[in-house]
Amino acid sequence: KAGVTQTPRYLIKTRGQQVTLSCSPISGHRSVSWYQQTPGQGLQFLFEYFSETQRNKGNFPGRFSGRQFSNSRSEMNVSTLELGDSALYLCASSYSPPDEKLFFGSGTQLSVL
Amino acid sequence: AQSVTQLGSHVSVSEGALVLLRCNYSSSVPPYLFWYVQYPNQGLQLLLKYTTGATLVKGINGFEAEFKKSETSFHLTKPSAHMSDAAEYFCAVSPNSGNTPLVFGKGTRLSVIA
């Protein structure tokens, strides 16, 4: 059974650009969560989707958005990139909430120059 | 609101020695508690979780953790460290209603010295 797949693995962008990250959950999983990981702040929750609906949202500015498609795949978008957005973005899937047994992808490493 | 404090951002042990990684939590309701491990260039992997019942929880790779309500702690232990245990470990908490996402601690990097 394939794990959680995140693409791309690495991204380099410049300030002001926008970026879209993709996440394919484990087959059969309908819930997808996104986390931002930085050395200083650790793991911070961005948002959670279930059946194409945003179920929870973390304390991030509106520049951060996401969506989930009918096949449970999810994307997150960051507009008007800032240097502080440089981070590892992790996607995690589970069968359905509430289910805290999350399966994580390897992440997308975003560098903003 | 829930929060997690992991004492020590970096812990170093000798191979074969006891591993003890500390985690204290704050929760206004009975919590679910988790330990995740992250190897270099990988995502997080669940080591073990406590929901209800037995307070001593056994996980993968020989790790275990004990839920101590009176101390609001959920420390992770392993009797004998192996080189392959070198990784970053994260403690996480969630209310047992499951309706809010996991809150993670800032992580503890474990180094194992030969």
Quote the DSSP letter at residue A27.
Answer: T
Q: Give the chain B residue nearest A3 (alpha carbons).
A: B43
**What b/e string do you get for A79-104 counting C-beta neighbours within 10 Å, with b at 16 or more?**
eebeeebbbbbbbbbbeebbebebbb
Give the residues across from A31 on adjacent strands. Answer: A50, A94
Name the residue with tokens 């500015």. Answer: A61
Alpha-carbon distance of B8 to A64, in angstroms, equals 31
Across the range B59-78, mean pLDDT stands at 95
Name the residue with tokens 């805290």. Answer: A100
Q: For residue A30, which of A110, A99, A108 has the smallest C-alpha distance?
A: A99
**B100, burial (CB in 10 Å: exposed 0-12, middle 13-18, buried 19+):** middle
Q: Is A56 part of the contact surface with chain B (CB cutoff 8 Å)?
A: yes
When pLDDT is cut at 50, 70 and 90, the band that residue B31 belongs to is confident
One digit per residue, pLDDT tens: chain A, 113 residues? 679 999 999 999 999 999 999 999 999 999 999 999 998 889 999 999 999 999 989 999 999 999 999 999 999 999 999 999 999 999 999 887 666 678 999 999 999 99
Query: Which residues on chain B are in Cβ contact (under 8 Å) with A100?
Result: 32, 34, 49, 92, 94, 98, 102
pLDDT of residue A99: 65
Q: C-alpha angle B61/B63/B66, rounded to 5°?
A: 155
pLDDT tens per residue across span B70-112: 999 999 999 999 999 999 999 999 876 666 788 899 999 999 9
Q: CB-CB: which of A35, A97, A104 is closest to B98?
A: A97
* A107 to B43: CB separation less than 8 angstroms, yes or no: yes
Is residue B83 classed as helix, strand or coil in its secondary structure?
helix
